[in-house]
Amino acid sequence: MYELFKSFLGADNVLVSEPMSKHTSFKIGGPADLFLMPETHGQLRQILTVAKEQNIPLFVMGNGSNLLVGDKGIRGAVVSLYKKMNKIVVDGEKLYAGCGALMSTVASAALSAELEGFEFASGIPGTIGGGIYMNAGAYGFELKDIVESVDYMDSEGNISQISGSDCKFGYRKSIFAEKGYIVLGCIFELKKGNKEQIRERINDFTQRRVTKQPVEKPSAGSVFKRPEGYFAGALIEGEGLKGFSIGGAQVSEKHAGFIINKGDATAKDVLDLVEHIQKTVYEKNGVKLETEIKFVGEF
C-alpha cells in the first residue's frame, strides 16, 4: 500500500504507523496504518480510486479538533486535508476558502479585506471542511448563515457544487455528513464593514472563549450536543461532575461541557468519562446527552 500511494503522493506525503496523538487537539490516539496528505483534488481522487480497488478503509479528516481516536489507532488510511488544501481568495464581498484552511485564518483574511459576518467563527478550532461538514457555530451564529455554495467530492471522485440552501444544514449536521461527501471548499457571502468594528467583535468573541473555555488544555471542544430545552454543561455541573476525573481525563473545572486531557489521558479514559456523564445525567434528569465529538478507530 505504501509504495502505491507514494507513487503519486510522494514519500513526504505518506506516513506509516503515524501516531494520531500528533494530529488531534486531544493529543490522544494510537497509530494510523497510513497517513496520507494529498495536495490537489486530483490526488484526492486517486486516493479514493486506489482505496476502492484495494479495499482499503479510508477516514478523511481536517485538523483533528473534534476527534477522539482510539488507543489502538486506525486501520487503513487516514486522509488529512489540513494544511495542504487551504487556499483563500477574496473577490468583492465573496470569500473562497479551501477545506484545509483554519477558521481562524479565514477570519483574519476577512478582517484584512474589511468583510464582516465571519467573526463568530474566528475562535472555532477547526478547518473549513470540518466546519461545513458539521455546520459549526458559536454564540448564536452558524456557518449556514453565510454559505453561498460548497464544492465537494463524492465517493466516486466526482466533483460538484451545491448551493448553501441545498446543503441540508441543521444543528451540527449537513448533507455532507449524511451522504459521506468530502468538502473541498466553500464560498462565503460576507458584507463590507468597518475594519475596527470587525476587529472589536473578533476580540470580544475571543475574550469570551478564553474566559469561559479551557483553551489552555488539550480537548476536543464541546463534548455533547445541546439537548433540546437544556444546556449540556449546566446539566453536567448540576450533578456535581465539574472537575470529576477518570484516569487522565477530567471534566473541565472551567466549563463542564468540556473534557480535558490532563496530560496522560488515554482514549479509554475519555470514553469511560463520557459514558459516566451520560449515565449520571440520564438517571438524574432523564436527558440523553448525544456526543458532538467523533469517535474514530479501535478502542
Q: Which of 65, 219, 222, 252 is catalytic?
A: 222
Question: Look-up: residue for cell 453561498?
Answer: 148
Q: Which of 21, 119, 149, 172 is catalytic?
A: 172
Alpha helices in the chain (DSSP H): 2-9, 41-54, 103-112, 128-133, 175-179, 195-212, 232-238, 267-285
- All domains in the chain, ordered by first residue: 2-80 (3.30.43.10), 88-210 (3.30.465.10), 214-296 (3.90.78.10)
Quote the pLDDT of residue 151. 98
Distance CA 192, CA 195 (A): 9
Quote the pLDDT of residue 241. 98
- Written as nine digits, the cell of 233 is 454543561
Chain CA centroid to CA 109, Å: 20
Question: How many Cβ atoms from other residues are within 10 Å of residue 207's Cβ?
Answer: 11
Per DSSP, 22 falls in state: G
Alpha-carbon torsion, ordered 28, 30, 34, 38, to 10 deg: 0
Is 292 annotated in the active site?
A: yes
Per DSSP, 40 falls in state: S
Q: Which of 18, 116, 119, 292 is catalytic?
A: 292
Q: Taking a C-beta distance cutoff of 8 angstroms, is the pair 77, 38 a contact?
A: no
Of 20, 34, 140, nearest to 78 by C-alpha is 34
Q: Taking a C-beta distance cutoff of 8 angstroms, is the pair 197, 114 a contact?
A: no
- Written as nine digits, the cell of 54 is 484495494
Name the burial class of residue 186, with classes exposed (0-12), middle (13-18) and buried (19+) by CB atoms within 10 angstroms of its CB: buried
HSE, side-chain direction, 13 A CA sphere, residue 218:
22
Is 253 annotated in the active site?
A: no
Q: What type of residue sits at position 49?
A: T
Of 131, 195, 201, nearest to 169 by C-alpha is 131
Tens-digit pLDDT string for the chain (299 aa): 889 999 999 999 999 999 999 999 999 999 999 999 999 999 999 999 999 999 999 999 999 999 999 999 999 999 999 988 999 999 999 999 999 999 999 999 999 999 999 999 999 999 999 999 999 999 899 999 999 999 999 999 999 999 999 999 999 999 999 999 999 999 999 999 999 999 999 999 999 999 999 999 999 999 999 999 999 999 999 999 999 999 999 999 999 999 999 999 999 999 999 999 999 999 999 999 999 999 999 99
Sheet holding 245-246, edge to edge: 219-222, 258-261, 249-251, 245-246
pTM value is: 0.93
Is 209 annotated in the active site?
A: no
Quote the pLDDT of residue 83. 82
Q: Taking a C-beta distance cutoff of 8 angstroms, is the pair 96, 179 a contact?
A: no
